[in-house]
Amino acid sequence: MNIILLGPPGAGKGTQASFLVEDRGMIQLSTGDMLREAKSSGTEMGQRVAEVMARGELVTDEIVIGLIEEKLNSAAGNGFIFDGFPRTLAQADALGALLEKTGQTLDHVIELQVDDEILVDRIVGRAEAAAAAGQPVRADDNAESLKFRLMEYYKKTSPLIGYYYAKGDLKAVDGLGEIDTVRADIAKILG
């Protein structure tokens, strides 16, 4: 089973993806994590990507589609969780084509619905908690980048809600509930 977790920054995609890894042995494919890895590799591409990410803008479709393509050719285990991918219609089309090419299906697209006000609090809170624990704070977890990240989401990613709804794949979950309630709601959908 392959699924997409869709939702704005701070909606809880990463947290819920890690539960699915734990509960079902699925493989989390987070393009954000892959890009942060590329950034710490110190290559020129990594450096360019880091600057775009720090501003809260999306990196090019070509780069992220390439990253996903590489992973799709590796073992699928109990299925993939696409976390933070696709983020544009071009990426969604590319994912559909890649899955078809490798004989795989897309089984569910789960939209985590959260209020904008809450997102800002969550992300600023995430940065403060990391700083207090002496952990690295994400370069894009600040109010300025967040504004761009939200704008990118509404301009480029939110159209995917209609796209997957029309395809009949979309299931919405209230992302405002307790973490474990959201986890249970997702489990119910996946069966």
Residue ranges in contact with ligand AMP by CB under 6 A: 9, 31-32, 35, 52-53, 56-59, 64, 84-85, 87, 91, 140, 149
Residue (58 or 127) nearer to ligand AMP, CB: 58
Q: How far is the CB of 40 from ligand AMP (least distance, A)?
A: 13
Q: How far is the CB of 51 from ligand AMP (least distance, A)?
A: 10
Q: Exactly one of 36, 122, 149, 156 is catalytic; name it.
A: 149
Does the active-site annotation cover 48? Answer: no
The answer to whether the CB of 173 falls within 8 A of the CB of 111 is yes
Long-range Cβ pairs for the range 116-122 (8 Å, 24+): 116/8, 116/150, 118/10, 118/176, 119/8, 119/9, 119/10, 119/11, 119/146, 119/150, 120/10, 120/146, 122/10
Does the active-site annotation cover 24? Answer: no
Does the active-site annotation cover 39? Answer: no
Does the active-site annotation cover 36? Answer: no
The answer to whether the CB of 82 falls within 8 A of the CB of 164 is no
How distant, in Å, are the alpha carbons of 48, 59, 61, 97, 99 from that of 69? 21, 16, 12, 10, 9
Residue (153 or 173) nearer to ligand AMP, CB: 153
Does the active-site annotation cover 138? Answer: yes
Q: Exactly one of 24, 55, 71, 138 is catalytic; name it.
A: 138
Which residue numbers are catalytic?
Answer: 13, 87, 126, 138, 149
